């Protein structure tokens, strides 16, 4: 999808007024971009940043003006299946992504890259030389201190990078998403640690990543130092006896 550019002056009077209303009670230092869908084309409104928190009151009115927020999502795939997490707000499984910063408006791939690097840690089980695997082109520093794990890991760039799968316009929440995929192409044992934005009082929480197959069926999960744990009905014989007590 090619995204064009327009000005807020190119919008209808009602749409421009709506955007100005979003800015009237600014509560965030961060801004997000807005996009206009016009027939089969999408345009970035280059002079209309709105506060990041405005998305909470955005959807109801935005649909009337064909306005969309934007962002990027990464589907992380390994040889066991796709790694996802549970969204406790909306009660569904999801990939890894978020809302674009205004500076990322013309390249939503940057949003996908940022969210992946901030939230998803593909690491070797803790050894004397722990490693973090990252997509090709996103190595950055040679080593990184991972606060969630409290250790410094060597950064290893894999041969596989982010593969753009396409764009998705969701009319249910007025959101334009760039969807990318990353295949973790390594024979080394690893585990997946997922961390989101800081929560009040507890800092950045770790969230259990699960693995689904191409049908969306649950096939296992990642459990810290254990790595991937497949779904199994096997029980320790003694546990089987305990359950019958």
User: Residue 84 falls within a domain, yes or no?
Assistant: yes
Write down the pTM of the prediction: 0.88
Residue 54 has pLDDT above 80, yes or no: no
User: Residue 238 falls within a domain, yes or no?
Assistant: no
Confidence of residue 240 (pLDDT cuts 50, 70, 90): low
Residue 8 has pLDDT above 80, yes or no: yes
Choose between 187 and 199: higher pLDDT. Answer: 187
Confidence of residue 137 (pLDDT cuts 50, 70, 90): very high
Task: State the pLDDT at residue 207.
Answer: 83
User: Residue 166 falls within a domain, yes or no?
Assistant: yes
Confidence of residue 172 (pLDDT cuts 50, 70, 90): confident
Domain coverage including residue 157: 3-230
User: Residue 239 falls within a domain, yes or no?
Assistant: no
Comparing CA positions, the residue from 181, 1, 173 lying closest to residue 87 is 173
Give the count of domains, the chain.
1
User: Residue 178 falls within a domain, yes or no?
Assistant: yes
User: Residue 55 falls within a domain, yes or no?
Assistant: yes
Least confident among 42-51, 148-157, 210-219? 148-157
User: Residue 169 falls within a domain, yes or no?
Assistant: yes
User: Residue 188 falls within a domain, yes or no?
Assistant: yes
Residue 197 has pLDDT above 90, yes or no: no
């Amino acid at each position: 999808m090619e995204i064009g550019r327009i000005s807020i002056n190119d919008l209808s009077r009602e749409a421009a007024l709506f955007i100005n209303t979003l800015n009237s009670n600014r509560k965030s230092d961060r801004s997000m971009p807005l996009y206009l869908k016009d027939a089969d084309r999408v345009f970035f409104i280059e002079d209309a940043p709105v506060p990041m928190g405005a998305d909470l009151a955005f959807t109801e009115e935005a649909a009337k003006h064909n306005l969309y927020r934007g962002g990027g999502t990464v589907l992380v795939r390994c040889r066991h299946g796709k790694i996802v997490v549970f969204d406790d707000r909306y009660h569904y499984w999801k990939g890894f992504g978020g809302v674009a910063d205004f500076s990322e408006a013309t390249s939503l791939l940057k949003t996908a890259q940022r969210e992946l690097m901030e939230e998803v840690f593909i690491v070797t089980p803790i050894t004397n030389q722990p490693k973090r695997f990252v997509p090709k082109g996103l190595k950055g520093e040679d080593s990184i201190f991972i606060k969630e794990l409290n250790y410094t890991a060597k950064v290893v760039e894999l041969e596989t990078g982010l593969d753009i799968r396409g764009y998705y316009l969701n009319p249910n929440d007025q959101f334009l998403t760039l969807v990318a995929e990353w295949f973790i192409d390594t024979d080394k044992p690893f585990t997946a640690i997922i961390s989101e934005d800081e929560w009040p009082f507890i800092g950045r929480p770790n969230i259990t990543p699960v693995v689904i197959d191409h049908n969306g069926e649950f096939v296992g999960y990642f459990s810290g130092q254990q790595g991937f744990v497949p779904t199994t009905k096997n029980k320790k014989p003694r546990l089987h006896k305990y359950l019958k007590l």
